[in-house]
Structure 1
Amino acid sequence: MRHSRWVLLLLALFSAVGTAAPRSVLLIISDDQGLDLGAYGNTVLRTPILDGLAARGTLFTNAFATVSSCSPSRSVIYSGLYSHSNGMYGLAHDVHNQHYLPWVRTLPQMLKAAGYTTALVGKKHILPESALPFDAELAPEKPGIRDVAFMADEARKFISASAGKPFLMIVGFSDPHRAAENFGNTQDWPSIKKVTYDPKKIPLPAHLPDVPEVRKDLADYYESISRLDSGIGLLLDGLQKSGRAADTLVIFLSDNGRPFPGAKTTLYDEGIHLPLIVASPTQTKRAVKNEAMVSWVDITPTILDWAGVPAPKEYKLQGRSLLAILEQSQPTGWDRVFASHGFHEINQYYPMRALRTRQYKYIANLASPLPFPVAGDIASSATWHAIEAKPSLGLGSRSLDAFLHRPAEELYDLSKDPNEVRNLANDPAHKEIVQRMRAEMTKFQKETHDPWLPGTSSPFGHH
C-alpha cells in the first residue's frame, strides 16, 4: 500500500512535468529607433506600453547594437555572431545582396530543431531565405507593414494556433524607419490613436542642428514611435489573452540608431546605444534598471538559454546569456562592448571597428581616406537637405567636415565628452590608452575571425 502511494505520487509529478507550459519567446524589433522612450527619461515622447513593459521587467541602460545598419544588425541578433563573422557585411535587400555565410546557424533553425514552432511578423531583411526557415511569415513588408494593428492580429492568431507547442515569434516593425513620405504618418491606421507632437517641444539631440526642418522631421519620427508603442500594446494584449504570457520571455530592442545624420550607420553612441527591455515571467524583481554593458551578440545566447537549447557545437557564439543578470542593477564583468561596421548600401563601403568601455570609446576607421557615406534615406531627408543648403549648420556639436572626413583612429573620453566631439587619439596624455585599446581591438579581431584583419580565415577555414 505504501509503495502504491509513492507510485501515484511519482505519476502525478511526471504528469505535472509533462503538462508544464513550454517556454516561448516573443522578440520585438523596432526599426531605426534611438534611445527614445519615456522609460529612458524622455518626458515628451509618449510610450506608455513600452514604459509599462520596463516596469515589469528589466531596462538595460547600457545596451548596444554591434552595427548601426538594418540587415547586419539583425544578422547579429539572430545568430550571436558579429556581422564581420557571419558574412552579412551590409544590407540584404535589392542590389546590396549580402548573405550569411553558409555555415551560420540561426535562432529559427536552432529552435525548430528543438521542436519549436516559429513565425516572423513583418520585416525580415536577411539572406539567404534558407537561413531563416520560419514556419510562417505573416504581414510581409508590402503591403501593410505600417498597419501595426494588423501585425498584432496576425501574431495573435499564430500564438493561439500554437497551443501546446513552444514558439519563437519575431515581430519586425517598420516603425519608426523613414517611409517614402513622412515616416508612414500620411494616413490613419485602424485601431490606432494618432499621436502628434509639437516640433517646438521636441528635445533636440546633440548631433543635429536646431532648425525648423530638423524639428519637423523629429516630430514625425516621434509620431511613428508612438504608433509603434500602440502596436506593441495590441501585441502584448493578444499574448495575454492567448494564455501564453506566463511562459513567454519578451524582448524589445531596436536594430540601429535613429534615421538622422550622426546616428544611423555610425558607431557613435547615437547610432548604437539603443533601447533594450527584457521581461521574464519568472522574474521576482521588477522595474530593474540594469547598468551592465550588453550587446546584440548576447540576444541569441539569452534566447537559447531560456529555451534550454544548446548552442552550435561547430563554433563558439560571441555573446553570453543575460538571464543570470536580469534582476541585478550593477552586475560585475560587463564593462565593455565591441562594434563592427562594413557598409550600409553596397556602394557605401566604410569599415569601422569600435571598443566602448564605461569611460572611453575607441574607433578604428579602416578606410579613413574615404569620405564617410550618407545612407540613402538620410540623404533624401529634409534634415540632410537643410544641412546641405547651409553646411555651416554642421551636425549639432560636430562640424560637417569632421563628420564626412575622419582620421584613422578616434578616441573619446565619454565622461567629459559624451557627444564624442573632441578626438583624443593623438593627444600625448592618452597615448597609453590608445595603445591598450588598439591592442584589445586586434585581439578581438583575431578571436572573431575578422576578415578585415590580414591573414584571417573563417572558423571553418576555406569551407
Structure 2
Amino acid sequence: MRIRLTMAILCLALVPLTTNVLAQQRPNILLIMAEDMSARVGAFGDDVAVTPNLDRLASTSIRYPNTFTTAGVCAPSRAAHILAVHQMSVGAQHMRTRSFKESAYRSVPPAHIKAYPELLRRQGYYTFTSSKLDYQFSNTSAGSGPFSIWDYEGAQPTWQGRAEGQPFFGFVTLTQSHERQMFPNVVVANNATGTRSQVVNPDEVLVPPYYPDHPAIRRDIAQHYNNIFSMDQTVGKLLRQLEDDGLADNTIIIWTTDHGDGLPRAKREIYDSGIKVPLIVHWPASLKPAGVSPNSIDKKLISFVDIGPSVLTLAGIQVPDYMHGSAQLVPNASPERDYIYAAKDRLDGFNFRERAVRDGQFKYINNLLPDKPGATHISYRDQLATMQALWQQQAAGKLNAAQRFWFEPRPAEELYDIVVDPHEINNLADSAEQAATLTRMRSALTDWRGAIADYSETAELQMAKDFWPDGEQPVTQAPRISINTAGTAIIVPSAANDSVGYRVNGGPWRLYSKPLSLPKNAILEAKSVRYGWAESQSTRASHSLGD
C-alpha cells in the first residue's frame, strides 16, 4: 500500500497542466483493435506490409513499438484490457471459461472491479463497441455480457447514437486479420467473393527462424499480410467517417491489436511473437499536449493493463486503485515501467502454466508445469496449413534445433536477450554470463506474482465451483426503487457494488449513478448485474403527482 501511495503522489506531480485542460474538454476517444497481428505495419518498419491508412495515421501520431498484451490469446488478453487487471487475478486466465469441460462457469471478478468503459459511461460518456466481447465474464458475442458497460454493442458500432454534445468512447474490433482468415476453406470463400486483395505474394515474405522455409508456410504468411491490408482499408473508412461527421478535431484515436500473429508459435504463446503488438496514439492538434510531436516513436514499455487507466485519465476520471496499470499513454502522466508481465494458462483441453517478465532487453519465462511441449494438437489451430506442415516436418525429422524446440518438453526456465535474439531461440537460462540477469528477472517475476492474486493457484474445477456453485450461474438480486412525492427516484442495489441500469417509459436502458427526477405518470424500470452472474429481473415503479 505504501508503494501504491508513493506512486500515486508521483503520478499527480507529473501530470502537466495540459493534461488537466485536456480532461476538461472531455475528448472523444476511439479505440480500434485488430485481431491476431504483430507489428506487420509499414510505419513500424515492415517493408512487406501494405498498410497505407495506418501509415498515414502513424505519420501524425505517436508509435509505441514496445507494447505488450498480457496473454498471447484473445479472451484472457481482452479480459485484462477491459478491466485493467491481469487476467489471473480475476479468474479469467484460461482459454476459455466456456470451453472447460468439467463445469460451466464464467469469471466472477471482485464486485468492486468494473470495466473501464462502464466508469466512462457513469461520468456521462456514450460508450459503444462492436460484436465481439470475449471478456471471460461474458461470452464472445454482443448481448452476452453485463448490460452496464456499453450504451450500444453490435454489428454497427458508431458514435451516432449519442446525445448532441455528448462525448463518446468507442471500442471497435476488426476481425479481418484473425487466425481463421488463413484457414484454407475461409481463404477460398474470401477469394470467391472478392473480399481479399492479393497485395503480397508468398515469395516476398520473410520466414522466421522457428519455421522451416516451406511453401505452405509462405502462403499463410502472405495471406496474413493480405488480410491485414483488408483490415487497413476498414481503418481508413472509420477515419473518413470521423472526418465526414466533423469529429476528427476532437477525437483521440488509439489503434492496436489484441495479441501477436495468428500463426503457430505466436498466438497462444508468451514469446514476443505472441504478445508484442503495435500501438498508435493520434492526438488532434486541438488536444495535443505540450511536447508531443507528430510522427514520433516512444520506446517505453506499455502493457495492455495501461490502456484503461490512460483512457480514464484522458477523460478526467480518477483511476481506481485496483487497476494494475497506469496512464502510460498520456505523456508525462505516470512513471515509466521497468517491466511488463504475461501469462499462459489452459488452452482448450491442454493445461499450461507459464509466467513471463520482460524489460527493455531481456525476457524471462517460468514454466510452472515443465516438461510439456508448447506444440499441442489444438483442433482449431490444426486447421492452418502452417500447423499441418509443421506437424509433417516434425514427424519426418526435418526440423532443425530452433524449429524443434517448440515441439519438445519445455525447460523450467527460459531467458532471452531480445536485442540480439528477437525471435527468442537461444535460451540463456544456463549461461554463466547471464546468471545475474537470470536472478534479477526471476526476482522481478516473483515479486509481481506475490503482489497480485493468482487464481491458477487453485484447480480450475474448484475455481469454477467457487464462481458458479453447482455449475449454475448465480442470478443478481433485483434492486429496490424509492420515489418520493416530488418525483425523485432512488434506486438501491441489493449488493453495494452491483451495477444498476434503468429506463423510463420503455426507453433505452441507461446506467444509474445518481437520483432521477421523473416526469408525471412516468414508469421506471431498474435492473442490476454483477459481472459473471446473470442480470436480475427488472423492478418497476411509477410516479404520479398527487399520489
Shared fold, TM over 0.5: yes
**Would you say 1:439 and 2:448 are equivalent positions?**
no
* 2:49 aligned residue: 45
Could you tell me how far apart the structure 2 residues matched to 1:225 and 1:393 are? 31
Could you tell me how far apart the structure 2 residues matched to 1:43 and 1:132 are? 43
Match of 2:63 among 41, 44, 59: 59
Could you tell me how far apart the structure 1 residues matched to 2:322 and 2:93 are? 19
CA 1:404–1:379: 2 relative to 1, 3 Å: farther
CA 1:304–1:137: 2 relative to 1, 3 Å: same
Could you tell me how far apart the structure 2 residues matched to 1:54 and 1:191 are? 28
Structure 1 residue 264 displacement after superposition = 0.8
* 2:358 aligned residue: 356
- The answer as to whether partners of 1:66 and 1:340 remain within 8 angstroms in 2 is yes
* 1:206 aligned residue: 209
Match of 2:316 among 308, 327, 341: 308
Structure 1 residue 265 displacement after superposition = 1.0
Amino acid paired to 1:316: Y
**Would you say 1:286 and 2:289 are equivalent positions?**
no
Match of 1:73 among 42, 60, 77: 77
Could you tell me how far apart the structure 1 residues matched to 2:339 and 2:97 are? 32
* 1:322 aligned residue: 328
Q: Per-residue displacement from partner, 1:317-353 (whole Å, max 9, x unpaired)?
A: 11111244389xxx984442111222232x1221111
CA 1:162–1:195: 2 relative to 1, 3 Å: farther
Structure 1 residue 382 displacement after superposition = 0.5
* 1:422 aligned residue: 426
* 1:177 aligned residue: 178
* 1:372 aligned residue: 374
Task: Point out where structure 2 has 5 or more consecutive residues left out of the alignment.
Answer: 1-20, 139-144, 468-496, 498-547
Say what the alpha-carbon RMSD is for the aligned residues. 2.9
- The answer as to whether partners of 1:73 and 1:256 remain within 8 angstroms in 2 is yes
Which secondary structure state, in structure 1, belongs to the residue aligned with residue 256 of structure 2? strand
* 1:34 aligned residue: 38
Amino acid paired to 2:309: P
* 1:168 aligned residue: 169
Amino acid paired to 2:205: I
CA 1:335–1:440: 2 relative to 1, 3 Å: closer
- The answer as to whether partners of 1:90 and 1:342 remain within 8 angstroms in 2 is yes
Structure 1 residue 131 displacement after superposition = 7.2
Structure 1 residue 121 displacement after superposition = 1.5
Could you tell me how far apart the structure 2 residues matched to 1:263 and 1:132 are? 34
Number of equivalenced pairs: 418
Which secondary structure state, in structure 2, belongs to the residue aligned with residue 68 of structure 1? coil
* 1:134 aligned residue: 150
CA 1:275–1:326: 2 relative to 1, 3 Å: farther
Task: Point out where structure 1 has 5 or more consecutive residues left out of the alignment.
Answer: 1-16, 140-153
Structure 1 residue 95 displacement after superposition = 2.5
Q: Per-residue displacement from partner, 1:59-104 (whole Å, max 9, x unpaired)?
A: 1111111111101111111111111113211234743454252422
Could you tell me how far apart the structure 1 residues matched to 2:77 and 2:192 are? 28
CA 1:274–1:446: 2 relative to 1, 3 Å: same
- The answer as to whether partners of 2:70 and 2:341 remain within 8 angstroms in 1 is yes
CA 1:349–1:433: 2 relative to 1, 3 Å: same
- The answer as to whether partners of 2:60 and 2:295 remain within 8 angstroms in 1 is yes
* 1:143 aligned residue: none
Could you tell me how far apart the structure 1 residues matched to 2:341 and 2:53 are? 30
- The answer as to whether partners of 2:125 and 2:166 remain within 8 angstroms in 1 is yes
- The answer as to whether partners of 1:306 and 1:323 remain within 8 angstroms in 2 is no
Q: Per-residue displacement from partner, 1:360-388 (whole Å, max 9, x unpaired)?
A: 11100111133335444322211111111
Which secondary structure state, in structure 2, belongs to the residue aligned with residue 390 of structure 1? helix
CA 1:431–1:323: 2 relative to 1, 3 Å: closer
* 1:14 aligned residue: none
Structure 1 residue 270 displacement after superposition = 0.7
- The answer as to whether partners of 1:105 and 1:131 remain within 8 angstroms in 2 is no
Which secondary structure state, in structure 2, belongs to the residue aligned with residue 122 of structure 1? coil
Scaled by the length of structure 2, the TM-score of the pair is 0.71
**Would you say 1:224 and 2:230 are equivalent positions?**
no
- The answer as to whether partners of 1:348 and 1:373 remain within 8 angstroms in 2 is no
CA 1:446–1:453: 2 relative to 1, 3 Å: farther
Amino acid paired to 1:42: D
Could you tell me how far apart the structure 2 residues matched to 1:63 and 1:188 are? 33
Q: Per-residue displacement from partner, 1:277-301 (whole Å, max 9, x unpaired)?
A: 1112222520011111111111001
Which secondary structure state, in structure 2, belongs to the residue aligned with residue 437 of structure 1? helix
Which secondary structure state, in structure 1, belongs to the residue aligned with residue 352 of structure 2? strand
* 2:131 aligned residue: 122
Structure 1 residue 244 displacement after superposition = 1.8
**Percent identity, aligned pairs only?**
28
- The answer as to whether partners of 1:30 and 1:255 remain within 8 angstroms in 2 is yes
Match of 1:275 among 257, 274, 278: 278
- The answer as to whether partners of 1:116 and 1:168 remain within 8 angstroms in 2 is yes
Structure 1 residue 168 displacement after superposition = 1.4
